[in-house]
Amino acid sequence: MIPSGRGPSIRMQLMGPVAMKATGASTSQLRSAPREKGSVLADPGWAGVMVASCCCGAAMRAEALEEVSPLLYHLRLACIACANWVTIAGRLEEIEPLVTSTLWSNEARHEVDRLPPYIAPLVKHETEQYAQKEERRLITLSLFREARNRGKVSWTSIAEARLAKVPAPIRSMAKVEIERMAIDRGFSEVTESLMDEAKAKFLGMRG
């Protein structure tokens, strides 16, 4: 993850997945424990959550999420006590631990805003329920479309046969990515034409 922020006063110590793994402290002990200002600490009270603090010692809260590309997201954290802020750039799985409550990306929120006013609140509620069920705190455009489709993507028999020809070591990854492509395009089914489109993205895919 790459941090950038408001002036030189922001400094963040970013811990990787290995550093997050285990401490015996409770959530309250961790949050009240002495910490270096401008740090990010793992929170064992909520799996996969890190607690960020500003250089002033106050907590930092996730404010906004921008989807730059499917592999790059910008998360803005703001101090709850002063005017400092920091933007973290990284993959979704890298930045999500810094978010402690449901946060919509700008792009996903735009999709809701485009809906008729009598439908938008219902869709927003259903999407947040789906995100909670899937234990996801960041609602991205992809997750929004997945929720609208109730997370279900079926496969035609021809597409399933072609998937079976994908080398075993990458078959599961290919299936997830192809289903994500279908959801992103608003499809409820993986067809042969979608397989053709996805084929070039996966080394070793045949058929």
If one compares 165 and 44, the residue with the highest pLDDT of the two is: 165
CATH number for the domain that contains residue 139 = 1.10.8
* Overall domain count for the chain: 3
CATH number for the domain that contains residue 175 = 1.10.8.550
Same domain, 81 and 118: no
- Could you tell me the residue range of the domain that residue 62 belongs to? 2-101
Where are the extended beta strands (E) located within 32-165? 40-43, 49-52, 60-69, 72-79, 85-90, 103-104, 138-139, 154-155
Q: Which single residue is written with the structure tokens 């489109």?
A: 197
Residue 112 pLDDT class (50, 70, 90 cuts): very high
Q: What is the pTM of this model?
A: 0.60
Domain presence at residue 204: no
Q: Which residues contact 120 (CB under 8 A, 6 or more apart)?
A: 112, 113
Same domain, 9 and 27: yes
State the chain's mean pLDDT as an integer: 74
Question: What are the Cα distances from residue 139, in Å, to 40, 64, 80?
Answer: 22, 11, 22
Domain presence at residue 205: no
Domain presence at residue 46: yes
